[in-house]
Amino acid sequence: MNSTFSVSERFFLREYEYAITAREDMTEPPLDYAISGVDIDLEAEAVSSLIDSIKSSARLPGELGAPVRLPGGFGGIIEFGDSCLVLATDGVGSKLQIANEVGHLGGVGFDCVAMNVNDLICVGAEPLAFVDYIAVTEADPMVHAELGRSLSEACNEARVTLAGGETATLPGIVKELDLSGTALGWFPKGSEVTGKSLIEGDVLIGLPSSGLHSNGFTLVRAVLDRSGLSLMEECPFEANCDFRKIEKFSDSVGLTLAEVLLNPTRIYVDPLVDLIAETRMEGGVCGPESIKALAHITGGGLSNLLRLHDSMGWHIDEPLTPQPEFEWISEVGGVSDLEMHRTFNMGMGMVVAVDQASANSISKWLNERLPGTRIVGHITSGDRVVTHSNPEVIFDKY
């Protein structure tokens, strides 16, 4: 190996060679989400069974609290007079296991708040309030204080009220800290963003992620085990890149692998809630019908786009550049391109579909507020499918 390479470069090349050799001799099979412990297809079937078993609402149309059906499933909507209220609930998932292992919980509050408020935005809602649920094996005032600070900072960034929460001490049920939450939002009745008006030629604008966000960490941990690396070792690849800042929490000179993997989920309230508000103002950057659909790219990756219309297709021909950790995961784990795009956001945390006439002005407006935002693709007709500039990446079901 060339001695002019840095330590991190030598390590990455060694890991790359290891991954290639493993795939060739099959001593280490390629990893995917199902092998590591999460079967996305089985999970979708289970969710469908759950929904099918739920009986009709006790509240009827026109009553406060009556359900409002909206395709996509990014938030649950109920009637509330001249407004609609929206609820979303989610947790941090197994990213918490890495945070617990290294003793750093300063970012998980952002993850929990972000996963919820970002979903609310996708139906055109403005997030208002958040409540958390913390489950522990044993109460620890220092841990709760760190979580409280993180949740408070995240709620301030998301412009929501931290309205309360619940802590449960559950020895024998939970084995380590778990964190989840629920967010409440609203929109004026009739102003929801549904995707139903999508037509061929509408333009897709991608907003950059901050990294892995809070999805796919069961697979990440499997890759980490295969690499043999310690979380607090120097990151084996150059992690600094455009359009994000990595939060440091250790005393190390360079970035550690834990710091890269635990980088908090980006909150998209600013700029997307402001963009939606602009559509409701005379003289705004675009008209009220310009924003056709919004998608939060979480578990399921690009297949999330299929939730927004029952016949239109989506083509990503100019994808945002994935951050370096995605390449590392793919190489060390032997993870296919299709599986990477089904499991992770691959550098794009949100997608906004807009009409052609407004696309350039909206893209410019968003990029001024979140650098790295740009046009990435367009809506197609004929087949309900997500296609990509990488021919291996194609989804025809969510």
Query: Domain boundary at 166, 188, 210, which?
Result: 188
> Which range is least confidently modeled, 19-23, 110-114, 189-193, 237-241?
19-23
Residues 79 and 137 in one domain: yes
Q: Is residue 272 included in any domain, yes or no? A: yes
The CATH number assigned to the domain holding 214 equals 3.90.650.10
Alpha carbon of residue 193 to chain centroid: 19
Q: Give dist(CA 232, CA 210) in Å, integer.
A: 20
Q: Is residue 172 included in any domain, yes or no? A: yes
Residues 150 and 205 in one domain: no
Q: Give dist(CA 72, CA 293) in Å, integer.
A: 10
The model's confidence at residue 398, banded by pLDDT at 50, 70 and 90, is: confident
What is the mean pLDDT of the segment spanning 153-174? 95
Question: Where are the alpha helices (H) located in the chain, listed in sequence order?
Answer: 7-25, 33-36, 40-53, 95-102, 108-121, 141-158, 217-227, 257-261, 269-279, 324-333, 337-343, 356-369
- Please, are residues 214 and 115 in contact by the beta-carbon 8 Å criterion? yes
Q: Is residue 214 included in any domain, yes or no? A: yes
Q: Is residue 49 included in any domain, yes or no? A: no
Q: Give dist(CA 65, CA 210) in Å, integer.
A: 36
Give residue 179's domain range.
60-188
Residues 162 and 205 in one domain: no
What is the mean pLDDT of the segment spanning 168-176? 92
Residues 177 and 276 in one domain: no
Q: Is residue 143 included in any domain, yes or no? A: yes
Residues 164 and 199 in one domain: no
pLDDT score for 21:
43
Query: Domain boundary at 137, 162, 188, which?
Result: 188
Alpha carbon of residue 142 to chain centroid: 28
- Quick: pLDDT tens for 287-317: 878 999 999 999 899 999 999 999 999 999 9
pLDDT score for 3:
41
Q: Is residue 31 included in any domain, yes or no? A: yes
- Quick: pLDDT tens for 8-42: 444 444 444 444 444 444 467 888 777 777 766 77
Q: Give dist(CA 121, CA 160) in Å, integer.
A: 13
Residues 171 and 206 in one domain: no
Residues 243 and 367 in one domain: yes
pLDDT score for 27:
60
Q: Is residue 393 included in any domain, yes or no? A: no
pLDDT score for 54:
62
The CATH number assigned to the domain holding 74 equals 3.30.1330.10
Tokens representing 123 are 């139906």
CB atoms under 10 Å from CB of 191, counted, come to 15
Q: How many domains does the chain have?
A: 2
348: pLDDT strictly greater than 80: yes
Residues 265 and 249 in one domain: yes
Query: Domain boundary at 169, 188, 207, which?
Result: 188
Residues 145 and 211 in one domain: no
Torsion of CA 358, 360, 361, 366, to 10 degrees: 110
6: pLDDT strictly greater than 60: no
Cα–Cα nearest to 112, from 61, 86, 79, 150: 150
Q: Decide the pairing of beta strands 178-188 and 126-136.
A: antiparallel
- Quick: pLDDT tens for 250-291: 998 899 999 999 999 999 999 999 999 988 776 678 887 899
Q: Is residue 95 included in any domain, yes or no? A: yes
Residues 220 and 167 in one domain: no
The model's confidence at residue 1, banded by pLDDT at 50, 70 and 90, is: very low
pLDDT score for 233:
94
| Sign of the alpha-carbon torsion through 260, 264, 265, 270 | negative
- Quick: pLDDT tens for 38-78: 766 776 677 567 656 666 667 888 889 998 887 666 889 99
Residues 269 and 334 in one domain: yes
Residues 202 and 348 in one domain: yes
The model's confidence at residue 7, banded by pLDDT at 50, 70 and 90, is: very low
